[in-house]
Homo-oligomer: A and B are copies of this chain.
Amino acid sequence: MQAIVLTDESDPRSLRLGSVPTPQLREGEVLVKVHAAGVNRADINQAQGNYPAPPGESEIIGLECAGTIADPGTTSRSIGEPVCCLLAGGAYAEYVAVPEGQLLPIPEGYSMAEAASIVEVACTVWNNLGQIAGIREGQRVLIHGGSGGIGSFAIQCAAAMGAEVAVTASSEEKLRYCKDLGAHLLYNYRESDWSRELKNTVDIILDVVGGPYLEGNIRALAPGGQLITIAIQGGAKSTINLGLLMMKRLTVRGTTLRSRPREEKATIVAATREAVWPMLADGRIRHHIHETLPLADAARAHELLDSGAVTGKLVLEV
């Protein structure tokens, strides 16, 4: 089959279509013919050599896709069934092997391109805000990087759960976009000190910045508050004051979705389907595709995402 491969391992721009073996199915897996694959920041890190595939998983890039079942393996699925998939890798290809627990139905009214680019973000956001943080009506939630793929989904999901949503972003334009999605409190981090304005008031923070924001995040959290770091775009290391953590009874967590065991992913997928799929069907969460490109243009898609000029998701079509 055709798949995106790194022709020069030292050059992340060397992503090209190449020929690779079609995946062999293992117990409980189905073979999905990929129609569209979502592009994620983690894909860029993988192309740069900084985020290798978990042991035993496909080394092809791509954490989510939509398509049709080409071979149901030992499952009771039907050939031709449309699905979207949470993957540990392998989406940038014509075919991918998927554990049955990581299949989801195409959300009502969604195209393949839309479905392909919503799975990773939906599972990530629901696992963190819903399953881990236990988001409740009336809580204040702070979303950093509100206009990005994770951020724009998290704003809508938190607002749909009845939370008061605060966001940070780098420009007035991005903040207007966040406001349109339902954010209530808007902070341009170049011009205001969000951590002092929100001091001691935030119940849950979903963070993608990491080290440079840790002190401010701890300042912003209310007693009993929770910080969940899901990316470290600003760096990993920081100083932490455990005395403050005690006094405010705070929780600081790091999470990733990709490295979870398959059984945990199946639980996350099932919870996300139950909580989030109805929000997609009735429009409480809208999904915005920034641009759709051919699979062969993976390198250009990565460059575009890395430029920071993308609001919404990028999709590769096979």
Contacts and interface: CB of A to CB of B under 8 A. Distances in A.
A255 interface: yes
B251 A253 contact: yes
Interface in A216-269: 223, 229-232, 236-256, 259-260
A242 B249 contact: no
A211 interface: yes
A128 to B, nearest CB: 11
B245 A249 contact: no
Copies in the complex: 2
Given A237-B240, A238-B240, A256 B251 contact: no
A200 to B, nearest CB: 13
A104 interface: no
A242 B251 contact: no
Given A239-B237, A240-B237, A259 B247 contact: yes
Contacts of A254: 242-250
A235 to B, nearest CB: 8
Nearest to A246: B254
Given A243-B232, A244-B254, A254-B244, A249 B238 contact: no
A246 B242 contact: no
A208 to B, nearest CB: 11
A247 B256 contact: yes
A71 to B, nearest CB: 32
A240 B253 CA distance: 12
Contacts of A230: 246
A245 B252 CA distance: 9
A251 B241 CA distance: 15
Interface of A: 210-211, 214, 223, 229-232, 236-256, 259-260
22 contacts: A210-B243, A211-B242, A214-B240, A214-B242, A223-B259, A229-B245, A229-B246, A236-B242, A236-B243, A236-B244, A238-B240, A238-B242, A240-B252, A243-B254, A244-B254, A245-B253, A246-B255, A248-B254, A249-B259, A251-B251, A251-B253, A252-B253
- Sorted from nearest, which 6 A-B pairs have the closest CB atoms? A245-B254, A236-B243, A246-B254, A240-B240, A252-B252, A210-B242
